[in-house]
Amino acid sequence: MKPNSASDFTVSRDIEADGDYHDGASHRDLFPGTNHEGDLVTAAEDRDLHRGLAQRHLSMLGIAGSIGTGLFLGLGGAVQRGGPLGALLGYAVIGLVVCAVQFALGEVAALLPVTGSFVRHSEFLVDPALGFAIGWNLVYGNILSIPSEITAICALFEYWTDINPTVFIIVFIILTAGVGFTFVRVFGEIEFVFALLKISLVVFLIILGLVIDLGGIPGTPRIGFRYWQDPGPFVEYIAAGDWGRFLGFWGVMTGAVFSFAGVESLAMAAAETQNPRRAIPRACKRVFARVVLFYMLAVLVVGMLVPSNDPRLDGSGGTVTQSPFVIAASAAGIPAIPSVVNAIVITSAWSASNQALLSGTRVLYGLALKGQAPKIFLRTTSWGTPYMCVALFCIFMLLSFMSLSKGAITVFWWLVSLTAAGVLVSWSSILFNHIRLRQAMRRQNIDLNRLPWSNWWTVYSSPAALFMCIVILLTSGFSVFTKGNWDPATFVSSYLDIPLVLTAYLFWKFFKKTKVVSLDEIPLDTALEQADMYEDEPEDKQKGWIRAVSWLWD
């Protein structure tokens, strides 16, 4: 479908210092008379946002976003639920799903490197109403996740001191707000350092765990795979026999999803990324490999170190003393490990709040670009920060003070639970966007080689992973439907996000009378022409000592 004449649209192109051109016309400008409202890279993004994130920032953002309390504190709960082999298999399956999600995101984001990432992709490839629903679900989830992380930081500091938690709340609100208002490159550098700290601790704990397991600590006997034999490789959960062992494995898998949460956030600031059509695919590919490697090794080592029936694992890592690494180190007579783990977990929690701020504010900015949020959120500083979006998030950071009241904190955690299933909803939308892109290319007879980045297997992996995400989403709270296990909080955290997203979708669909975009009308030719404007730039090869660690992001 082509414009009728040159007067049908106006294309604004800004030339940045790096020599990249960006087509600033919206779909409605390029294709008048259609119902689709999805933009390509808009002139507003090009003009108001600054490309401060480099390839290494994106790669480390994805790693930092997915390595957190779920790995340092929560793996013990996975071993307790499914046993050492059940936990390993559960994380392996979710690792494959994460692989499919990352490659699907990379293919679409390389073609459409827009602020808001898969939220805007949903508008462009599926339905503007879907973009509205997914976008506001992400904004809501990120708004609440920041005070929840600050609350977690206060709890972690209680391991060392009994200072009034109000002090820590104020300090971390100021620190998080400061990162949000500063240059996006400063945010990238901070998260880069945090990611290095996390990776260093993961590698250290894995090596330490192997040393302890093999009897390398004087006075500590060799463990080997003793706990795989007694109490056994699997744990029966809810039921007995093979069915119970399967339910234990499935319970691990549903929990593993949330451990990997965050890998999808690396493309949220695509319009603030240097050479996004090259950087985003590379980051997606590398982040998957590193994260799965770290998690699989960590799960394997934890299953060797601590028996699945150890009562200290109860609580799934709510405090540092429930970390399986800390349990094993304490048994080996290494008293400093709890404090080291606690310190890194505190930085992990602050890192998570910073990433939630970046992700949420960029989604909100993207919604405002589409008229799905007030235009006031389009205001940016001279250095490219959407300061009104950040200001809104800063207001909601004050919810962390609810942790000072027992009654208020109960309400607060219920609010947080509403979006616990948002990870699977986001992954499902990423995979569905990719499936629609491939379908549109087949319908319009466009060669897949025209995509900036593509892989032959994603045509199979995306549908399979989407099926898995939907099944896991629908069964994530299966325990509450078994006899004697009803729990309102678990039911809410597992399922309430589904009607919330559906309600938002139907509201915008009927309010704006949107329609599902026809595969024939998706303007892929325009998107591909825009992608062709980017010239491949030579890669900067690392030199000197930095090459020893640059494999993490290069």
Q: Are 302 and 324 in contact (CB under 8 A)?
A: yes
Residue pair 496/418 in contact (Cβ under 8 Å)? The answer is: yes
What pLDDT shows up at residue 329?
85
Segments making up each domain of the chain, as ranges: 49-401+421-472
What does the alpha-carbon distance between residue 407 and residue 358 come to, in Å, rounded to a whole number? 30
Question: Which of 1-15, 31-45, 112-126 is most confident?
Answer: 112-126
Q: What is the pLDDT of residue 28?
A: 39
Instruction: Tell me which of 189 and 55 has the higher pLDDT.
Output: 189
In our burial notation (b when 16+ CB lie closer than 10 A, e otherwise), range 423-461 reads bbbbbbbbbbbbbbbbebbeeeeeeeebbbbbeeebeeb
pLDDT at 511 over 60: yes
Query: What average pLDDT does range 526-551 have in this prediction?
Result: 65
Residue 21's pLDDT is what? 33
What are residue 13's phi and psi, to 5 degrees?
A: -125, 125
Share of the chain above pLDDT 90, in %: 30
- The per-residue pLDDT for range 446-459, each reduced to its tens digit, is 988 888 888 889 99
Contact 129, 303 (CB under 8 A): no
The pLDDT value given to residue 3:
36
Q: Which two tokens stand for residue 99?
A: 């692989």
Say how far apart CA 267 and CA 283 lie, in whole Å.
Answer: 9
Which pLDDT score is estimated for 14? 34
Average pLDDT, integer, range 489-510:
91
CB burial of 371-408 (b: ≥16 within 10 Å; e: otherwise) equals ebbeeebbebeeebbbbbbbbbbbeebebbbbbeeeee
Average per-residue pLDDT for the chain: 81
Amino acid symbol at 295: Y
Residue 398 pLDDT more than 60? Answer: yes
Start-to-end CA distance of the chain, whole Å, equals: 39
| pLDDT at residue 247 in the model | 93
Per-residue pLDDT band for 391 (boundaries 50, 70, 90) equals: very high
Please state at what angle helix 524-532 crosses helix 75-111, rounded to 10 degrees.
Answer: 90
**Average pLDDT of the segment spanning 91-119:** 89
Q: What is the pLDDT of residues 67-95, one digit of tens each?
A: 777 777 778 888 998 999 999 999 999 98
pLDDT exceeds 70 at position 547: no
Q: Is the peptide bond before 452 cis (omega within 30 degrees of 0)?
A: no
Number of C-beta neighbours around residue 536 at 10 A: 9
Q: Assess whether pLDDT exceeds 60 at residue 460.
A: yes
pLDDT value at position 17? 32
- pLDDT confidence of 52, banded at 50, 70, 90? low
DSSP per residue, 279-346: HHHHHHHHHHHHHHHHHHHHHHHHHHHS-TT-GGGTTSSSSGGG-HHHHHHHHTT-TTHHHHHHHHHH
Residue 488's pLDDT is 85
Smallest CA-to-CA distance from 72 within 307, 380, 319 is with: 319
Whole-structure pTM over 0.75, yes or no? yes
Cβ within 8 Å of residue 37, ≥6 positions away: 26, 27, 28, 123, 128, 370, 371, 514
Q: Which residue has the tokens 């600054």?
A: 50
Strand segments, DSSP code E, in 243-343 are none
pLDDT at residue 25 is higher than 90 = no
pLDDT score of 175: 92
Average pLDDT estimate for 354-367: 89
**Amino acid sitting at position 355:** Q
Confidence band of 39 (pLDDT split at 50, 70, 90): very low
pLDDT for 431? 96
CATH 1.20.1740.10 fits 49-401+421-472, yes or no: yes
HEC-encoded secondary structure of 356-404: HHHHHHHHHHHHHHCCCCCHHHHCCCCCCCCHHHHHHHHHHHHHHHHHH
DSSP letter at 536 equals P
Among 236, 64, 130, 212, CA closest to 504? 130
Q: What is the pLDDT of residue 58?
A: 75
Burial of 20 (0-12, 13-18, 19+ CB in 10 A): buried
Q: Measure CA 219 to chain center.
A: 42
Q: Give the span between the Cα atoms of 336 and 313, in whole angstroms.
A: 20
Higher pLDDT, 215 or 6: 215
pLDDT greater than 90 at residue 221:
no
Tokens found for residue 513: 């009378």
Q: What is the percent of the chain where pLDDT is above 70?
A: 83
Confidence of residue 538 (pLDDT cuts 50, 70, 90): low
Instruction: Round to whole Å and give the CA distance between 314 and 132.
Output: 39
